[in-house]
Structure 1
Amino acid sequence: MKLRFSIRLQLLVLSLFLFAIPWLGYKYVWELEQYLRIGQEQTMIGTARAVATALHERPALFDSQSAYLQNVRPGTDLYAPPIDVPIQLDGRLQEWQAVSPLIQSYNEENVVTWFAEQNVPVTLSVEHMVGRYDQYFYAMFAVTDDKVVFRAPNSLSVDRSDHLLIGMLDAQDTLHRYIISPYDSGWVNAYQLDDNPGRFRAVDNALEIQGRWELTSTGYNVELRFPITMTSGALAFAIVDVDDPANRAKQYAVGTANPNQSDDLGTVVTPSPEIERILSGLRYADSRVWVIDKHKRVLARSGSIHSSLGLNAGSQKSSSQGWWHYIEQQWLLPLYYQILTRPPGDFVDELADAYALAGKDINHALSGQPDSLWRLTPDNKAVILSAAYPIYIGDSVMGAVVVEQTTHGIRTLRNRALEQLFHVILAVMLLGTLGLLMFAHRISSRIRNLRDDTEAVIDPNGKIIGSLPPSRHGDEIGDLSRSFSAVLSRLQQYNSYLENMASRLSHELRTPIAVVRSSLDTLDEVQDPARQQVFLSRAQSGISRLSSILNSMSEATRLEQMISQEDTERFDIVKVVGGCVEGYQHAYPHRQFALRLSCEKVQLNGSPDLVAQMLDKIIANAVEFSQPESTIALHMWQEQRTVKLSITNTGPLLPKGMHEQLTQSMVSVRAEGNNADGPPHLGLGLYIANMIVAFHKGNIVLQDLPDKTGVCVVISLPVPQN
């Protein structure tokens, strides 16, 4: 079964191309987002450059002991992050949970000194870190020890029990050693040891170093506090383990470095308050800014990555509660966000408590080249852009500024742009589709009505029984309706002619047949040869008239074949028309012919004989429909590249509605009974004339005179260029 592909279905299929509009809009907004990201990247690098400019050539901002190290020793070189609240020295270590990711673990691999044989099993481990609050360093030690040995009562020796050794350099690079060796759990202070690194003799109280030593189920905890000014940055801690309370022999020391050797001390990196003041003064509320040294350790930090949207997302939408707001919130936005993603309200920040940074952008910055890096958060909820710019001290890179932002602002702007774009596209698609369907319905309805009206004027036998009213619309369907109306009108006239043709042929054939029959019937009754000859002559005349009728019917066919084989030549039509008119004066003595020439000589390409034959047919028609002694006027003139000839005669007007049909084959409109004994009239004269004019690429027009006194035939023939 053949599928019916109607106009409405075709327009519906074509309307599907409207779905390309949202795809193009979506692609455009995505491209725009890429350009916004590039712009954000350049802005970030510019921000990092601006911060780095404020830090260039300021060596005082960098710690002299840590920033100039060529290598960083993990576990030995310490990082002291800022602590939000002061540590309560109670040995419970609760305040350290906020920076717990920075706690370092020390075990048998971190033995800095052996006091006994090295094959002694190491049963002690330490979790340790350093922090800074205000002008103090804080240190914590969570020691796991199978046997805790305190200092013996009334013992003057400070190194014959479990104890903590501290070594640091002052501003003059002088080594100072301190020891904490308590008698029991509780509040502790340090003792300063003498300058001989080979012995452990307390020479003075170091009350600046204070803290608490608290026993636990697995060992003990130690919390300490001492002023930052006590050290220039070189610092080491070591826990010395004593397991035998009887002989109190020292086994080994586990720690960050050997506190007894100044060259072995580690450096402590603490965020610079001066750099932090510079960062807070710049007020970068939409970025998180890091300052790191050349070992990638954090010196300062400002801002929060969760509040650094990046590009300003603008004000929030109005909270109107109208019908449009309801439709948008309940229907449209849930549909849009099937393909869109909202920026998450929260995400995992793996660098929240970082004391060192890493990344391609940082490596390039520390080599002297600014760079940027895009990265996903561990939970894949956010994209973070970081830009790094080097900090120079002289010709050396001493650190870098790292600026971070999320792309939440860009994503929010993108979503809002897509929301508005989808609103417009949805409206355009709905209105466009509705308009196309209405247009298709209107077009198809008009075509169906035209079909129904056309079928209604033709009966089942093919006979035209009515007329098709012409449409007044100016479009193609209206033009088609008017064409159908004209075609049906001409067919109706032609069918009427064909229906009457039998009577006309019967009328033309009745007389000669009657003459032949009556002559033959009378011939049998008459014996006189003279009278028989008269009846034979009458019969011969009827047969001649029948032959003339047959010849007239085949004349058009013969002429058409002759025209197709006719050779063309160059001839003067003025001369041909003039010669023909002179002949008509003798052929039709009861008519007057008046020829007026408005051009002297006009050359045409064609056949002068055919032109003369065409003129004969038209003049014969004019003579037949004019009154005796009337004048037939001919006028020839030239308009640009066209020569025109008019033949005018007085007499009856053209039949109504038959102006164009009279030049067609076998169309004749004459009063019945006229010219019964004259030549037959089968409506071929003007048809032959029209064929000859068409052969010469011209046209013929029949029209009534304006005063309604007769008829004028105008022939137009093109004049070829020389």
Structure 2
Amino acid sequence: MKLRFSIRLQLLVLSLFLFAIPWLGYKYVWELEQYLRIGQEQTMIGTARAVATALHERPALFDSQSAYLQNVRPGTDLYAPPIDVPIQLDGRLQEWQAVSPLIQSYGSNNVVTWFEDNADVSMSFQHMVGRFDQYFYAMFAVNDDKVVFRAPNSLSVDRSDHLLIGMLDAQDSLQRYIISPYKPGWVNAYRLDSDPRYFRATDNALQIQGRWLLTPDGYSIELRFPITMTSGSLAFALVDVDDEIDRTKQYAMGTANPNQSDDLGTVVTPSPEIERILSGLRYADSRVWVIDKHKRVLARSGSIHSSQGFNAGQQRPAGNSGWEYIEQNWLLPLYYQILTRPPGDFVDELADAYALAGKDINRALAGNPDSLWRLTPDNKAVILSAAYPIYIGDAVMGAVVVEQTTHGIRTLRNRALEQLFHVILAVMLLGTTGLLLFAHRISSRIRDLRDNTEAVIDSNGKIIGTLPPSRNADEIGDLSRSFSAVLSRLQQYNSYLENMASRLSHELRTPIAVVRSSLDTLNQVQDPDQQQVFLSRAQSGISRLSSILNSMSEATRLEQAISQEDTEQFDLTRVVKGCVEGYQYAYPQRQFTLKLSAKQAPLVGSPDLIAQMLDKIIANAVEFSTQDSTIALHIWQEQRQIKLSITNTGPLLPQGMQSQLTQSMVSVRAEGNQSDGPPHLGLGLYIANIIVGFHHGSIVLNNLPDNTGVCVVTTFPATQ
């Protein structure tokens, strides 16, 4: 069964192309997001450049020894991050949990001095350094299978488990300290003599204070000492003693050897001066890092969780209107089946970082600004970082790293897509509804036209009514008017055909009667003269019958002749002059006048056909005019057209028939014509119209304005 592809179905299928609109809009917004990301990247590099500009050529910010190291030794070169609250020196280590990711572990690979060969390493510890205000804090969580304290009343400070501290003072001199308590509790350090081979206490170092606390796995130590005690070089080492009898030292495990100044590690602490410079950037909607050339963090400002990238992360206020209810409860849940909301929380692996890494940082430390896009470990957020080098002279001493998430861009993209989807949804609903209504209206009008057309034609094909023309100015209205005109012409033609029998009967009855009566009488008359009379009458009837048949076939012969007619250029005025002179002799009961408003009227065509056209029109004019009346001809030129008018007085044209009289076999002559006159089959003006069409012209019949007669105007294109 063949599918009926109606207009409504076709328009419905075409309306499916409306779904390309949201796809194009979606692609456009995604492209816009890419441009926004490029813009954010350039902005970030610009921000990093601005911060780096404030730090260029300021060597005081990088005056620590660690800034000039060629290599950083992990576990030896220490990082002291800022601590939010002062450490309570109780040995319990609770306050250190906030910076626990920075705690370093030390084991057998970190033995800095062996006192006994092949000693069994039974100790390990965790350690880190922090800073609060003007103090360094240090913690040690030690795993030791046997803790040996200093013997009572013993003056020797190195014959028990103890902590060695080595540092360079402001004059770059090595200063050694030792903590060797008699028992757990509050501890202070002793200053050791300057000879690194010996461990003799020379003085109390009360600036170094803390607490030594026993634990189930060993012991813990918390210390505090002023930052001014060291110029930046520092080392810690724990010495393990396991035998309480001979108190032999086994080994020293630590960050570096405290007894050798050239082996000390460095301690890096975020620069207060740089932090003061960055303090104003905490409101810059980004996170800013300053690192040294070893990628260690010198300062930090801002939070990556609050850095939206653009100020677009606010939630839209809830509304009470009906539209806002529909948007919040119906539309947005539908949209966010495709869209994704920026997450409120995500894992920030660099939250407590003391050193940074990345391709952008490597290039910045090499002197080339760069940026880097990265995903968070939980794949919830995209973070953009931009790095710019900091110069001291011609040397790169560090870099500024600025970070932001793309949450702001994603929020702006979602807002744009929400508004776009609103518009697209409205356009699609209105467009589809409009197309369906339009299709319904069009198909209904076409069905009505079909029904009305079928209603005026009966089952036998006879036109039984009229089709009312539509008043609409569109194509269907034009089609309706064309149908109405076609049906009207068909009705007139059918009427003519229906009357053709009576017309032919009327035209043929007289000549046939004349022939029959003449032949009947001829057999009864013996006189040759009378027989000749009746033979002449019979011959006249036959001639009339022949004339009728010739008239009926004349149009067909003329169309065939025109197709083979040769064309030439001629002057219309000369042809009309010659014809008018002949008409004056052919129709002596009429007067003919010719007015020439153009000296020449050049045409391309056939002068014989033009003369035949004039014959048909003049014959009509003579027939419908009164005796002794005047038939006027006029030739003139308008622009590039030549016009010929033929005017006669007499009966007017029938109402509404002006445009139909030039059609085939249309005649409006009254009944009761003279039986001995020429036959009238309505072909004269039809033949004239064919000839005018051959010459690319037109013919128009109109009543005179004063209703005294008829004017026929033929128009031809002029030639040069």
Pair in the same fold by TM > 0.5: yes
Give the aligned partner of residue 273 of structure 1.
272
SS at match of 2:341: coil
Q: Which residue in 1 is equivalent to 2:109?
A: 109
- The amino acid across from 1:67 in the alignment is A
Q: Which residue of 2 aligns with 1:82?
A: 82
Structure 2: distance between partners of 1:603 and 1:48 = 88
User: What is the aligned partner in structure 1 of residue 68 from structure 2?
Assistant: 68
Answer yes or no: is the 8 Å Cα contact 2:45–2:387 preserved in 1. yes
CA positional deviation for 1:525: 4.4
1:63/1:269 contact within 8 Å kept? no
Cα deviations across residues 515-566 of structure 1 (Å, max 9, x unaligned)? 2233333444455555444443333332222222212212222222222222
User: Distance between the aligned counterparts of 1:628 and 1:360, measured in 2?
Assistant: 115
Deviation at residue 127 of structure 1 after TM alignment: 1.0
Counterpart code for 2:222: E
Task: Judge conservation of contact 1:390–1:399 (CA < 8 Å) in 2.
Answer: yes
Cα deviation code 1:640-669 (max 9, x no counterpart): 333222222222222232222222222222
Give the Å deviation of 1:19: 2.8
Partners of 2:115 and 2:161 lie apart in 1 by 13
Residue aligning to 1:427 = 426
> In the alignment, what sits opposite 1:46?
46
Residue 382 (structure 1) aligns with? 381
One-letter amino acid matched to 1:244: D
**Partner SS, residue 362 of structure 2:** helix
2:142/2:220 contact within 8 Å kept? yes
Deviates more, 1:501-510 or 1:366-375: 366-375
What TM-score results when the alignment is normalised by the length of structure 1? 0.95
Instruction: Report what 1:311 is aligned to.
Output: 310
* Aligned amino acid, residue 444 of structure 2: S
Distance 2:553 2:281 in 1: 110
Q: Which residue matches 1:352?
A: 351
The amino acid across from 1:116 in the alignment is: E
Counterpart position of 2:713: 714
**Structure 1 residues 600, 67: closer, same or farther in 2, change over 3 A?**
closer
Could you say which residue in structure 2 is the equivalent of 1:18? 18
User: CA offsets, 1:408-464, max 9 Å, x none?
Assistant: 222222222222222223222322222222222222222222222112111122111
What are the equivalent positions in structure 2 for 1:201-600 lying under 5 Å apart? 201-313=200-312, 317-526=316-525, 529-600=528-599
Distance apart, 1:405 and its partner CA:
1.7
Q: Distance in 2 between matches of 1:685 and 1:24?
A: 66
Moved more, 349-358 or 40-49: 40-49
How far apart are the structure 2 equivalents of 1:282 and 1:463?
95
Quickly say closer, same or farther: Cα 1:542–1:347, change in 2 above 3 A.
Answer: same
Matched to 2:70, the amino acid is Q
Distance across 2 between alignment mates of 1:491 and 1:531: 50
Deviation digits for residues 249-276 of structure 1 (CA, Å, limit 9, x no counterpart): 2111111111111111111111122221
Q: Distance in 1 between matches of 2:50 and 2:639?
A: 84
Tell me, yes or no, if the aligned pair for 1:162 and 1:242 is still in contact at 8 Å: yes
Deviations 1:296-326 (A, max 9, x none): 1111111111112222228653432111110
Identity of aligned residues (%): 86
Distance 2:253 2:585 in 1: 150
Where 1:431 maps in the other structure, the secondary structure is: helix
Looking at structure 1, the residues matched to 194 and 639 of structure 2 have their Cα atoms a distance apart, in angstroms, of 130
Q: Per the alignment, in what secondary structure is the counterpart of residue 662 of structure 1?
A: coil
The 1:584/1:277 distance shift into structure 2, 3 A limit, reads closer
SS at match of 1:507: helix
Question: CA offset at residue 606 of structure 1?
Answer: 2.3
**Which amino acid letter does the alignment assign opposite residue 302 of structure 1?**
S
- Paired with 1:289 and 1:697, the residues of 2 have a C-alpha distance of 87
1:352, CA displacement in angstroms? Answer: 0.8
CA change 1:61–1:606 in 2 (3 A) is closer
For residues 385 and 181 of structure 1, the distance between their equivalents in structure 2, rounded to whole angstroms, comes to 50
**In the alignment, which residue of structure 1 is the partner of 2:35?**
35
Would the aligned equivalents of 2:67 and 2:293 in 1 still touch at CA under 8 Å? Answer: yes
C-alpha separation in 1, matches of 2:336 and 2:403: 27
Instruction: Give the CA deviation at 1:369.
Output: 2.1
C-alpha contact 1:342 1:412 (8 A) present in aligned 2: yes
Shifted more, 333-342 versus 520-529: the winner is 520-529
Q: Aligned partners of 1:639 and 1:268: how far apart in 2?
A: 108
Structure 1 residue 570 displacement after superposition:
3.1
Query: Could you report, residue by residue, the CA deviation over 1:453-505 in whole angstroms, capped at 9, with x for unpaired residues?
Result: 11211112211111111111222222222111111111110110011111111
Kept in 1, the 8 Å contact 2:369–2:386? The answer is yes
Superimposed CA distance per residue, residues 9-39 of structure 1 (whole angstroms, 9 cap, x where no aligned partner): 3333333333333333333333332333233
CA drift at 1:150: 2.2
- Quick check: 2:281–2:302 contact (8 Å CA) kept in 1? no
Q: Distance in 2 between matches of 1:306 and 1:446?
A: 64
Q: Counterparts of 1:345 and 1:383 in 2: how far apart (Å)?
A: 13
Partners of 1:580 and 1:461 lie apart in 2 by 48
| C-alpha distance 244-3 of structure 1, shift in aligned 2 (>3 A) | same
1:636 Cα deviation after fit: 2.4
The one-letter amino acid of 1:598's match is S
CA distance in 1 between partners of 2:459 and 2:498 (Å) = 18
Assess if the C-alpha contact under 8 Å between 1:653 and 1:709 holds in 2.
Answer: yes
Q: CA RMSD in A?
A: 2.0
Structure 1 residues 52 and 516: CA distance shift in structure 2, 3 A: same
What residue number does 2:100 align with? 100
Q: Report the CA distance shift for 1:409/1:649 in structure 2 as closer, same or farther (over 3 A).
A: same
CA contact (8 A) 1:139 1:224 kept: yes
Q: Is the contact between residue 167 and residue 264 of structure 2 (CA under 8 Å) also seen in structure 1?
A: yes
Distance in 2 between residues matched to 1:606 and 1:286, nearest whole Å: 89
> Shift in Å at residue 98 of structure 1?
0.9
Change (3 A) 1:661 1:281: closer
Post-superposition shift, 1:63? 4.1
How many residues were matched structurally?
720
State the distance in 1 between where 2:532 and 2:55 align.
145
Structure 1 counterpart of 2:613: 614
- Letter paired with 2:347: V
Cα distance in structure 2, aligned partners of 1:21 and 1:630: 76
Q: Greater CA deviation, 706-715 or 493-502?
A: 706-715
Contact in 1 for aligned 2:370/2:388 (Cα 8 Å):
yes
Read off the aligned partner of 1:107 and give its amino acid letter: G
1:131 deviates by: 0.9
Match of 1:121 in 2: 120
The two structures have a TM-score, normalised by structure 2, of 0.96
Alignment pair present for 1:91 and 2:95: no
C-alpha deviation, 1:183, in angstroms: 2.4
| 1:584-663 equivalence runs, <5 A | 584-663=583-662
Quickly say closer, same or farther: Cα 1:473–1:151, change in 2 above 3 A: same
Q: Which residue type is aligned with residue 108 of structure 2?
A: E
Q: 1:698 to 1:65 in 2, by over 3 A?
A: closer
1:654 match: secondary structure: coil
1:306 to 1:314, Cα distance in 2 relative to 1, 3 A:
closer
TM-superposed CA distance for 1:68, in Å, is: 1.3
User: What SS does the corresponding residue of 2:68 show, helix, strand or coil?
Assistant: coil
Report the residue type matching 2:702 in the other structure.
Q
Letter in 2 for 1:102: L
Whichever residue aligns with residue 634 of structure 1, its letter is L
Q: Once the 2 structures are TM-superposed, how far is the Cα of residue 351 of structure 1 from its aligned partner? A: 0.8
Contact 1:63 1:233 in 2 (8 A): no
Contact 1:186 1:214 in 2 (8 A): yes
Unaligned runs of 5+ in 2: none
Q: Is the 8 A contact 2:281 2:288 kept in 1?
A: no
Q: Report the 3-state secondary structure (helix = DSSP H, G, I; strand = E; otherwise coil) of the residue aligned with 1:187.
A: strand
Q: Alpha-carbon deviations, 1:37-92, whole Å to 9, x = none?
A: 23322222222222223222322222432111111111111111111112122222
Contact 1:163 1:180 in 2 (8 A): yes
SS at match of 2:186: strand
Q: Please give the alpha-carbon distance, in whole angstroms, between the structure 1 residues aligned to 2:258 and 2:638.
A: 124
Q: Aligned residue for 2:701?
A: 702
